[in-house]
Each structure stands twice: as C-alpha cells, then as structure tokens.
Amino acid sequence: MNLPSLIKNTLEKALKSINPAQSSSTLTIWLCLIVALLEGLDLQAPGIAGARMAREFGLDHAHLGLAFSFGSLGLLPASAIGGRLSDLFGRKRVLMGSVVLFGVFSLATTQVDGFNSLLVARLLTGLGLGAAMPNLIALSSEASRPNRRNLAVGVMYCGMPFGASLAALIGVLWPDSSGWRQLFYIGGFGPLLVLPLLGLFLKESNYFIAGQTTISSGKANKPGIFFALFRDGRAAATASLWVSYLGTVIILYFLLNWLPSMLLSRGLTASEASTVQMVYNFGGGIGSILITSMMDRIGRTPTVTIMYAGMVVALVLLGTTSGSMVLVCGGFVAGICLLGGQSALYSIASSVYPTEVRGTGVGAAVAIGRVGAIIGPLGAGQLLSAGHSETTLLFASIPLIAVSAVAALLVVARFQMESCEAIVQ
C-alpha cells in the first residue's frame, strides 16, 4: 500500500470511529479538514517563499521577520473576535466569512510591489486565517461523540501541517525566483472554490442551535466574555491554558518560518531544506491524529508528557547536527510533537469551556497563542541579525517548553479532577 492510500485509509477509519451513525457529522469533519489544509498552506507560504521574496524586494533578516510577524499580527485579534462571533451568530457563518477573507487577500499577496504592500496584504490575510481556526475547532469538536472529540479535533487539524507540506512541495516544484507567487495563487483560489461546498453541505453545530433555542426561550442569557473565561472555576484553567499556548506557539512559529533559512545556512541545498520542511509538516499531520488518538486511549496526562518530551528531543537533534538525514529525522519528530501537539492543545481548550462559551474560550486561547506567532519569528529575526547562532536559539527554547508542559498538565489535571467530581455526584 502506498503512502497516500495509507493516509486516506487512516483518515477514513478515524472519521468513521468519530460518528458512524451521522453522515452529516462525518462530512463536517471532512469540510473542516479541507479548510484547515488551505489555512496551513497559506500560513506556511511566507516561510517557503521568504528567501525568494527577500531577493526580489531587497529584504534583510529583520525585514523578513517583520513580514512574517505582520501576518501573525492579523491572526491575534481575529482569533478572539472570530471565536466570540461564533457564539453569537453561529460557527458556519463566521467560518465562511473567514474563508472569503483569507482567500481574497492571499490573492492580493501576488500583486504586491514592495515591502509596505506586502505587510498590508499579509495583515489582512491573517485576519481571515485567525477567525477561521476557533470555528474549525468548535465545529469538529461538537460534531463528534464526547469520547471521540480529541480524535475529531486531531483529524481536522492534521489538514494544517499537510497543507504546509503541500506548500513546501510547491516550493520544490517551482524553484525559480518568480515561483513564490504560485503559492499564493493556490492559497487564494482554493478557499474561494471550497466556499460553495461549505454553503451547501456544512451543517451548523447542533450544540450551538440548542443553545440558541434555550436563549430565545428566555431560559438563559448570552454569557459575557468575562463570564466565559473566568467564572464557574475556569480562571485557573484559562490562565494555564494561555501560558501553554503562548510558549508552545512561540517555538512552533519560530521553526515554521525560520527553519528553511536555518537549514540553508547549515549548507543544505534549497531542495534539501524544502525536504526537511516538508517532512516537518508531514510529521505534524501524522502527529495530529496519533497524539489525539493517544489522548482518547491512554489519557491526556501521559500523552501530553510524551508530547513535550519529544519536542526537547527534536530541538536537540536540529541544534546539534548538520547531517541532512539526522536533520530530516529531527524535523519529523518536531512535526509530530510540536505541530501535532497543537491539536492536543486545541482539544484540551475545547473541553475546558461549555458549549455556550466554547467559541469565546477557544478563540481567546488561540489569540494568546497568536501572540507567540508574532514573538517567535520576529524575535528570532532580531536575534539572528544580532549575530546569535541558530543552535543558541534552539537550546534557549527548551526552558520555554518545560514551562508550557507544566501549564498544559495543570489544565489536564483540573479537567480530570472535575470529571471525577461529576462521576461521584
């Protein structure tokens, strides 16, 4: 069995196990996966195209880091706003609006003629990308059975790294200096072509509809933002979740944007660097399903512990060798544990908050993570410009992984304690 068939069969089995009795639920997961794949392609595109864009527009490390971070700057408010709007107006409507936004401005990126227009295009693209993710998490989580929600989120999220792998593949297929625009053409037309499918086949969350019915009948009020995040004993979980998101995403986006340039500086060819980047993202797709499946099978605490330990191993491999095969292995492990680990954090976030505030809570956590998406590439660009080595940056990230791991485990422990109390009652 070839690799594409293996991936397809694995996804089909996972989707059938999520909710075999409801075809609309399975279709929801598939559609969310497709949108996540397109989002992953667009998020990775600047990292793949960065070196070529730098040559065309005369950008140094600091300017390139600013361009990367400007895209992430749009993600930050959009994640929180998109999550909040989903609790007010529905997951489907907000997701469709987000898809239009990042599709249109990904196309606009192909028409930039300099550094300033590039910043504007990436900022506006980031608004659409940021608003989409909380809705993808809520829709996939609420479409599945309670005992398969971890896997449902993982199946959806695997589209992100697989989309990023596709971006790396496109970078290999168009190695010439003008080929970087092809990435953004695909990243723009793809979402606009998927939009009619979302309108026709994507079903609104039954949990959201039930909550709106309760509110309309006067039996409940729409919870405010403060209530959603900090009331009913959620303050400690929210704070720990934010710390874990922030630390993990700083490292994730540092590698996502700077790994190709770091590998080129090690003496790898452009093709070899793109291969490592492709393996990194492919490992993320495998890890998304593997890690969330482990959470359903062996529990969240051991899975999260293994996940963060794997991140340390990956950074050591990437920081201590220049051999292409070892770097490929390091990239694959980093993809499984770091990119794949994002699906675990998204799943944990979706379980912390009840339905009526899930979009708000998840959106706020994703927004905090987006701060890391800004700090990671921008900080790395400044440190590299100041003369620090890539190895120094990789090893300096390890304490941040430790802090993020402790925070994530605190959230898991809180969730497990509440579950035990519910069983006792």
Q: Flag whether 115 is in a domain.
A: yes
Task: Report the alpha-carbon distance of residue 321 to residue 100 in Å, rounded.
Answer: 43
- Structure tokens that stand for 385 in this block: 């410009």
CATH of the domain at 364: 1.20.1250.20
Q: Flag whether 14 is in a domain.
A: no
Quote the pLDDT of residue 176: 59
Task: Report the alpha-carbon distance of residue 278 to residue 332 in Å, rounded.
Answer: 9
- Structure tokens that stand for 319 in this block: 């920081």
Quote the pLDDT of residue 198: 93
Task: Report the alpha-carbon distance of residue 300 to residue 348 in Å, rounded.
Answer: 9
DSSP labels, 335-375: IIIIIHHHHHHHHHHHHHS-HHHHHHHHHHHHHHHHHHHHH
Q: Flag whether 11 is in a domain.
A: no
Q: Flag whether 58 is in a domain.
A: yes
Quote the pLDDT of residue 370: 81
Quote the pLDDT of residue 422: 40
Domain count, the chain: 1
Residue spans of the chain under pLDDT 50:
18-21, 420-425
Which residue matches tokens 């399903």? 289
Q: Flag whether 8 is in a domain.
A: no
Q: Provide the residue range defining the domain that includes 360.
A: 19-424
Q: Flag whether 12 is in a domain.
A: no
Distances (CA, A) of 302 to 292, 333, 387: 12, 17, 39
Q: Flag whether 47 is in a domain.
A: yes
Q: Which helix (H) or strand (E) holds 276?
A: helix 270-298
DSSP 8-class letter at 148: G
CA nearest 377: which of 214, 203, 292, 261? 261
Distance of CA 364 to the CA centre of its chain: 14
Contacts of 400 (CB under 8 A, 6+ apart): 247, 250, 251
Quote the pLDDT of residue 9: 63
Q: Flag whether 277 is in a domain.
A: yes
